[in-house]
Amino acid sequence: MSFDIPAHRTVALVGESGSGKSVTSMAIMQLLPPQSSEIDPASELRFDGRDLLKLSSAELRRLRGKEVAMIFQEPMSSLNPVFTVGEQIVETLTLHAGLSRGAAWKRAVELLREVGLPEPEKRVKSYPHELSGGQQQRVMIAIAIACEPKLLIADEPTTALDVTIQKQILQLIADLQKKHGMSVLFITHDLGVVGEFADEVIVMRHGVIREQGTVRQIFENPQDAYTKALLSCRPHLDRRPERLAVIDDFLQPGGYVEPAERKRGYAADDETVLDVQGLCKSFDIREGLFGKRQFHAVQDVSFKLARGKTLGIVGESGSGKTTVGLTLVRLHQATAGKALFHGQDLIGMSAKEFHAYKKRIQIIFQNPYASLNPRFTVEQILTEPMLLHGIGQDAGQRRKLAQDLLDKVGLPAGALAKYPHEFSGGQRQRIAIARCLTLKPEVLICDESVSALDVSVQAQVLNLLQDLQDEYKLSYLFISHDLAVVKHISDQVLVMNKGRVVEQADADVIYREPRDGYTKKLLGAIPQGWSPALAPA
């Protein structure tokens, strides 16, 4: 592959997981492990006239962080948990800028202020775990720009962030680029983000560049079928096809024909499966050595979920979305309120009484890497719930049920003998869905279950959830910060802010005529992709 990054410009590197985006960035930084960094002798990697492949280790150390800097994808695993964020910025400044510790500390506070972190004098002494995901990403950006590099590489810097935080981070990088005159290599799988942010786009698949050009060329007149597929896989706000396009739809002979639209919304005669009334959840938070205060995570939340329908719950991190879901399945104990499931209050039941209802209301967790037991095979993961709830007469019958479920979620029967680490993120999420289906639930709580997936894999999982709902009349409580996804799959949408419901209506109504200012703010932050209005005058 060959490409250029012009001075003072933003080049976006786009593709699915496994396309080679992050490997490309790590190769530029010369951070690949020795066993995977054998490069063809004919290759060149020129930065400011120097071939980085010919530099010594000492020369590379002087270059990295000073002239070429990188924002890594996952700030929590990139920031050192045992040092304050200030100490980590100071380290960069003393190593590369030659500042004294006092001057570096003062500059660290200025950098945190520049990246928009509130109370920088206080936050500079915080540890990474004391900051939110968006704040951690701002710290990563502060470290990256500390020495005013000529090239900034941003590897998926907004993946799994709220739309509002995502917009702030993208605007921050754009502002810093203009202020410091940097070039930016922006790596992402979301073409919606690229359209608003980049000047040029490179589309990769399987380690090969499929297409490259200006943002206008790529969005207005894509030439490669793979590029067209990436542009179409993401849910759109202006239409709702019965099935989302996936990559293979565009690569097969004849191309893709968009299906009819699916109508959404609640009807007056819909059967109510779950009726939540005045749900509250508070947590005790320690302050000082002996003090504590109450944090009200969920306050007076009420809604109804109809049979065979989807209720989307949206809001920023900390709005209480996930707490609602965890409280309904009794992983948190509610402070007050009722959750009537076919007229029976799930909140007021004893643990023994609730056991019978566990199989009827299930949850798909956000992170399949953490929610699947790494020591269990897929067969053990799927048959354990059956064993606990007395489903299947013997091991053979349970295994047959597990095979049927794998087929239902689009995985081969051979997957039964494998372990979670042998699968991709999208495949793991399918296994998590299959595990929920083992108990034949009536309600599925999907907690950010597609937020960290590529757009193409996300489309596959959303299509799967829709197929399962159509076949089994499942009811979904779909928790997400991705408003385009929520619009696609939801019949009704509930908007939460600081633990409270601020707005609730049918999906089409709430997107067409939002009433609350907070809802308008969320909708205004959705990436719209490229349009002529975004083009420079």
Residue 536 — very low, low, confident or very high, per pLDDT cuts 50/70/90?
A: very low
Torsion sign, CA atoms 439, 443, 448, 449: positive
Decide: 494 and 501 in contact? Cβ < 8 Å: yes
Tens of pLDDT, residue by residue over 399-421, are 999 999 998 888 888 999 999 98
Quick one: tokens of 469?
């709902």
What pLDDT shows up at residue 116?
84
Whether 434 shows a pLDDT value over 80: the answer reads yes
Decide: 313 and 324 in contact? Cβ < 8 Å: yes
Place of tokens 């100071």: 90
Please state, in angstroms and rounded to a whole number, the distance separating the CA atoms of residues 500 and 509: 20
- Report the candidate in 139, 81, 69, 73 with the shortest Cα–Cα distance to residue 109: 139
What pLDDT shows up at residue 202?
96
What pLDDT shows up at residue 35?
63
Tens of pLDDT, residue by residue over 437-490, are 898 899 999 998 887 677 888 888 899 899 999 999 999 999 988 888 999 999
- Burial letters for 230-244: b for 16+ Cβ neighbours within 10 Å, e otherwise? bbbbbbeeeebbeeb
Mean pLDDT of all residues in 366-383: 89
DSSP β-bridge partners for residue 203: 14, 211
- Report the candidate in 480, 388, 491 with the shortest Cα–Cα distance to residue 435: 388
Within 8 A by CB and 6+ apart from 526, the residues are: 163, 192, 237, 483, 484
Residue 531 — very low, low, confident or very high, per pLDDT cuts 50/70/90?
A: low
Number of neighbours of residue 450 by Cβ within 10 angstroms: 24
- Report the candidate in 312, 304, 302, 296 with the shortest Cα–Cα distance to residue 279: 302
What pLDDT shows up at residue 537?
40
Whether 327 shows a pLDDT value over 60: the answer reads yes
Q: Could you give the percent of the chain with pLDDT greater than 70?
A: 97
Q: What is the mean pLDDT of the chain?
A: 89
Please state, in angstroms and rounded to a whole number, the distance separating the CA atoms of residues 38 and 33: 10
Within 8 A by CB and 6+ apart from 37, the residues are: 27, 30
Tens of pLDDT, residue by residue over 148-196, are 899 999 988 877 677 887 888 888 888 889 888 899 999 988 777 888 8
DSSP β-bridge partners for residue 215: none
Domains of the chain: 10-223 (3.40.50.300), 371-438 (no CATH)
Residue 366 — very low, low, confident or very high, per pLDDT cuts 50/70/90?
A: confident
Cβ-based burial of 57 (10 A; exposed 0-12, middle 13-18, buried ≥19): exposed
The secondary structure of 214-230 as a DSSP string is EHHHHHHS--SHHHHHH
Mean pLDDT of all residues in 293-303: 92
Within 8 A by CB and 6+ apart from 458, the residues are: 233, 234, 426, 450, 485
Decide: 492 and 311 in contact? Cβ < 8 Å: yes
Stated pTM of the model: 0.83
